[in-house]
Each structure stands twice: as C-alpha cells, then as structure tokens.
Amino acid sequence: MTPVALIVLDLGASAAQDLAVVDPATTVLPATDLAATRGDGIFETVVTVAGVPQASEAHLDRFARSARMLDLPEPDRALWRRAVTTAAAHLREHPRGAVKYVMSRGDEAGTGVPTGWALAFVPAARAEIPAPLDVVTLDRGYRSDVAQTSPWLLQGAKTLSYAVNMAAMREARRRDAQDVIFLSIDGFVLEGPNSTVIARFGDRFVTPPVELGILPGTTQHDAFAALHRDGRQTQVRPLTAAELTEASALWLCSSTRGAAPIAHLDGRTVRVDADATAIMNHALDDRKE
Amino acid sequence: MTPVALIVLDLGASAAQDLAVVDPATTVLPATDLAATRGDGIFETVVTVAGVPQASEAHLDRFARSARMLDLPEPDRALWRRAVTTAAAHLREHPRGAVKYVMSRGDEAGTGVPTGWALAFVPAARAEIPAPLDVVTLDRGYRSDVAQTSPWLLQGAKTLSYAVNMAAMREARRRDAQDVIFLSIDGFVLEGPNSTVIARFGDRFVTPPVELGILPGTTQHDAFAALHRDGRQTQVRPLTAAELTEASALWLCSSTRGAAPIAHLDGRTVRVDADATAIMNHALDDRKE
C-alpha cells in the first residue's frame, strides 16, 4: 500500500475541530492505545474510484454493527462519513484507491475516549478483471453456530484482532496458494480471511448467511445485485464443504479486489467463469453512492 | 495503569542507538503499524519488585515461542532483556510495577522491520494476598486439539489480537463476575483470558498442559515450584469441566495479580484455601532472577 493522507478524528470533541488532516507517516498513536495493545477496535476498508467512495453506506452500516458487537460507543455516522469523504478526496487523481477507517477503544492509560482515524491509500495495482486465485480450505476451529451460542468470540465482527487471518494467509502461501476459504468444524463454508465466498451451481449463485458467524459482504452484496439485474438467480444459504467441490465456479469477493475467480481449490482445478466474473466486476467498478 | 516510561527499540539498527527512552504519552506508532491495524504481534508483561523484573527469563522464553508461532523474526534476546531492564529501572521507587513489552510485524507501509517497545507502568494496586474472585466459565469455541491440527489459529501464542479475551471479560462483568475460565468444546479446562488455572484435589495441585492450546503460565510455574518446596504434590494434566466443580480450591495465576483464589465459579461457592494462597504469593513476591 502507498499511504496518501491520514484523517485523525477527535471522538471526544463536540467542536468543529473534530477532523485533522496529517501526513500518513506521522506517529499518531501512543504505545498504550488499545488498537496496538489488544487489537481492541473495529475497521472498514472502502474502495474509491476517482476519489468517490463506493458502497459507503453499506460499510458504515457494518461499522456500526461491529461497534455493537464489541460494546463500543455507536459511531457518529455523519462524522465518520465526513472523515471517509475527506480522506477519499485526497485520492481524486487515482482511478482506484481505498480508505481504511478504524475506531479503537482508546488509550488504556487515558480517559476512555475512542481513537479514530481514516487512512487514504493506493492499494497494490490490480487488473480490471481480477486474476484467478489458487485457494486452500483451512479449518477455522469453530462450529457454525458460535455467533449464536458464544457472542464473546466476536465472529462476524470486523475487528482489529486479525492475527489469525494473517496466519491463515501465511499458511496459504506455505501451500503455494494465495488465499483461504475457512471451514467450520461441522463442515460449513464460512468466508476468506478478508473476503466473501460465492459459488455457482448451474444458473444459481450462492453465498453463505451471516448467521454462520461471518461478515456481511458489501462487495458480494453488490455483485449479487449485478447478477440479479442480469437475470441470474442468487441465493443466501448454508453451503457445505462437500458442495464446494461440486460448484461449477467459485469467487472470493472483497472491496479492494472485487470478485476474484478461483482457479484452483486445494490443488483441484476450478472452471473460471469469465462471463459472470466480468458482469460482477464491471458493475462493481460502476458503483456510485 | 499509570505509565512511567517508554523504551522504544530500533529493531532495524545494528548500532548503539538501539534503545530510546521517551515519555510514555508520546505518540510512537503510525496508523499503519500492524500492531494497530491487524493485532499482528506479540507481547509479555513482567512484574517488577523495586525495579527488578521477576521471572524475566521465562517471559523471554515465551516471547521467543510466540514469535516462532507467528513467523516473526527471532527476538534478539540480549536486546529485549536490556529493554526490559532499562524500563524496569524506572520503577525502582515502586514496590510493585510492571513492564509490558511488545513486538509487531512493523509498519505495513514500511520496510518490513518489526516495531518494538517496552512500557514501564504501575498497575492498579493489589493487596499482598489477592482478593478472591468471582469467575464464570465461557466457551472458547475450539476443540482442545486445535494447536496440533490448526496452528494458524495461534492458540498458545501471546498475540496482540486480544479482542476475544477483552469481550470475554466484558461478558464476565455482565454476569456479575470479575474473570473467566475458558472451556474447550470437548469439555476441557483451558485458561483465563489473561491467566492460568490451578485446581486443588486433596493434596494435589493440577494445571492443564500447553498441548491444549494454552499459554505456558510463568506465574503458575513459579507457584508450583513454591508448592513443591512446601512438600505439596503438583501435576500437569488435562482437566475436565466436570472436575472443576469437584476441586477443593481453585486459583487464577497471572503476573500482575499473582495466584488469586476463586470464591465463586458460575455462582457456586468455592472454598478459599488461604494457606496455599499464602504459600504461592509469598514465594511469588520473593522471586529474584
């Protein structure tokens, strides 16, 4: 990533000086911020096209949902929207950029006011149609019902505690792959470390439900809308690991990559559906909000 | 906590200027440090008595173990020991203090050099003999064998991704308790969010093995040594959730609290063994290294 601008939010302020634009290389966090000491916070990454954030409201919805799951104060939606817009404006000259925004529980030596920032950056370049991926399935260790039985496990919240997701990506590279699909121990397809799974069966496109303890996929949501407009059937339902091997095509969806087709799953060749891939990604690139 | 001093390590340096002492309120991290964006790093907290770190080598061992589990560069043991000693020296006038030291994977917009710091602080005051705790058991969601089957879940590593541990502590408070014992889904006792479990059965003191995907407890280790010197039997073996209810006494051990007896477990009264509690904590306070 290439950082372009950093917006620091003053979440304790009621004044007009609640956003400050600083050089993204500035040190802004003390060593006692709970983002850094406990991964105790939430984030979203929104893509920008020529400085315009895409699916911004869906990301703000999910940010608020994550805050509730972590018992964080409800984000001031207007303030965060303004922070994202302000950061995105610094990316006007970049056809494709991204804004990552973060709220932590604050400084553990401080007054209990959350910490907030929004970073504008240019992600690693990607092709207009994402390159096919080699993917491995990995055990996520959890049953598919933990979001219901054990909400303190925070499954389905987009938290800063991503060490497991990072370790899973390293395991994928160790297996000569580039990405991961997590499976529950009771045999259900969950999600990627930073993506949502779409599987095609005949004319139907399927993605797993959030009740399995996964994130609501903002990119998957808009990809499904595009498929629907094109007359395809879409469905949200639990998907077994066995069904993955029967899908006629598979994708991983994420903000910064769009809908990336899977070429190999656990070493087995998967057909790349160039037609559906193009439909989804053209629509994703055309989003305005 | 009351921060006293911060030592910033330059882990890319081969020069003499590899440690810098700064005011702990200084902002030292950019918003792109992987500690803050991904909880991608490791830590240890060592207690100091009049500025002398206790069980320092055991903590350095565990720090190196966590680094290996996260594929981080091996910590330069002499440098980290010096950082801990330098931080601890700022606590000379405090009968009881603590040094928390952290290594992250570095700045995600940077050059791949890890970030390191050691914070000297005075923890919230505690009684010489820790007050008895009200504790609840909570599902950790994992089988007891995930450390063997699925190392990317990082069970047993002391990482910065502690959002689940923090959420479990909030769940405990919601249930009018102060702490948690995690259980595996196959019915084994694991550990607390920041502590190790000791259970007494007759004359024998038992703690679960690290093979269950839990941290090796540095405080529990020294508490067992004290019990052993006092002629008691100690044993490391798997402990079922059912056995917890049969124990004649229970403790949670952690660096900053020592061996804290449990007074209630899931609402049920547990006998507080004042004698064994005193033996362990007097020995813990007398450690030198």
pLDDT tens for B155-211 read 999 999 999 999 999 999 999 999 999 999 999 999 999 999 999 999 999 999 999
Task: Read off the amino acid at residue B223.
Answer: A
B128 falls within a domain: no
Read off the pLDDT of each residue in A241-266 and give the average, rounded to a whole number.
96
- Per-residue pLDDT, B237: 98
B182 and B252 both lie in a single domain: yes
Residues with Cβ < 8 Å from A173, sequence gap 6 or more? Answer: none
- What are the chain A neighbours of B29 within 8 Å (beta carbons)? 27-31, 33, 36
Q: Among A210, A214, A176, which Cα is nearest to A193's?
A: A214
Over 70: is that where the pLDDT of A289 sits? no
Do B153 and A161 count as a contact with CB atoms less than 8 A apart? no
Contact: A31, B6; criterion CB under 8 Å:
yes
Choice among A67-71, A272-276, B14-18 with the minimum mean pLDDT: B14-18
Q: In terms of Cα–Cα distance, which of B282, B135, B286, B268 is closest to B198?
A: B135
CB pairs under 8 A between A and B: 198
Structure confidence by residue, pLDDT tens digits, B21-79: 999 999 999 999 999 999 999 999 999 999 999 999 999 999 999 999 999 999 999 99
Q: Which chain B residue's Cα is nearest to A162?
A: B38
Please report how the helices A56-69 and A77-89 are oriented relative to each other, as an axis angle in degrees rounded to 10. 130
Which of B27, B104, B166 shows the shortest C-beta gap to A40?
Answer: B166
B8, closest residue in chain A (CA to CA): A31
What is the tally of structural domains in chain A?
Answer: 2
Q: Which of B24, B138, B166 sits opposite A32 (nearest CB)?
A: B24
A150 and B139 within 8 Å at the Cβ level: the answer is yes
A163·B35 Cβ contact <8 A: no
Q: Distances in Å between the alpha carbon of A137 and those of A181, A199, A237, A241? A: 5, 14, 19, 9
DSSP string, B264-279: EETTEE----HHHHHH
pTM of the model: 0.95
In a domain, A163, yes or no: yes
Is there a single domain that holds both residue B174 and residue B277?
Answer: yes
Q: CB under 8 Å, gap of 24 or more: what pairs does A12-20 form?
A: A12/A111, A12/A113, A18/A79, A19/A79, A19/A82, A19/A83, A19/A86
- The boundaries of the domain holding residue A91 are 2-122
Q: Is there a contact between A152 and B167 if contact means CB atoms under 8 Å apart?
A: yes
Structure tokens of B113? 């050099």
Same domain, B148 and B260: yes
CA distance A38 to chain B (A): 5
- Please write the tens of the pLDDT for every residue from A6-47: 999 999 876 667 999 999 999 999 999 999 999 999 999 999
The pLDDT tens digits for A111-135 are 889 999 999 999 987 667 788 999 9
Angle, to 10 degrees, between the axis of helix B274-285 and the axis of helix B218-229? 110
The torsion angles phi and psi of A79, rounded to 5 degrees, stand at -65, -45
Residues B21 and B150 in one domain: no
Same domain, residue pair A272 and A140: yes
User: Are residues B36 and B158 located together in one domain of the fold?
Assistant: no
Residue A128 lies inside a defined structural domain of this protein: no
Q: Domain check: are A35 and A171 in the same one? A: no
Is residue A116 in some structural domain? yes
- How is residue A33 written in tokens? 């911020």
* Contacts with A134 (C-beta within 8 Å, 6 or more apart), sequence order: A176, A177, A178, A179, A262, A263, A264
Tell me, what's the pLDDT at A3? 95
Same domain, B233 and B151: yes
Q: Is the domain of B155 the same as that of B35?
A: no
In the 8-state DSSP scheme, what is residue B218?
H
Could you tell me which residues come within 8 angstroms of residue B178 by beta carbon, excluding any fewer than 6 positions away?
B133, B134, B135, B172
* Cβ neighbours around A100 below 10 Å, total: 24
Q: Tell me the one-letter amino acid at B280.
A: M
Inter-chain touch B102–A24, beta carbons under 8 Å: no
Averaged pLDDT for residues B268-278: 97
Q: Domain end: B122, B142, B163, which one? A: B122
Same domain as A107, residue A11? yes
Q: What are the start-end ranges of the H helices in B204-256? A: 218-229, 241-244
Answer yes or no: are the C-beta atoms of A24 and B30 closer than 8 Å. Answer: yes
Helix H or strand E segment including B12: none
Specify if A56 maps to a domain.
yes
Residue B127 lies in a domain: no
Same structural domain for residues A163 and A210?
Answer: yes
CATH number at residue A188: 3.20.10.10
Residue at B68 is within a domain: yes
What are the chain A neighbours of B102 within 8 Å (beta carbons)? Answer: 31, 36-37
Name the nearest CA neighbour of B37 among A84, A215, A35, A105: A35
Q: Which ipTM score applies to this complex?
A: 0.95
Q: B263 and B164, same structural domain?
A: yes
Q: Which of A95, A122, A149 is the last residue of a domain?
A: A122
Q: Is the pLDDT of residue B240 over 70?
A: yes
Instruction: Indicate yes or no: CB of A146 within 8 angstroms of CB of B141.
Output: yes
In a domain, residue A27? The reply is: yes
The residue from B122, B151, B182 where one domain ends is B122
- Tell me how close the Cα of A258 comes to any Cα of chain B, in angstroms: 21
How far apart CA A190 and CA A209 sit, in angstroms, is: 9
CATH of the domain at A14: 3.30.470.10
CA dist B178 and B172 (Å) reads 6
For chain B, the maximum distance between any two Cα atoms, rounded to a whole number of angstroms, is: 57
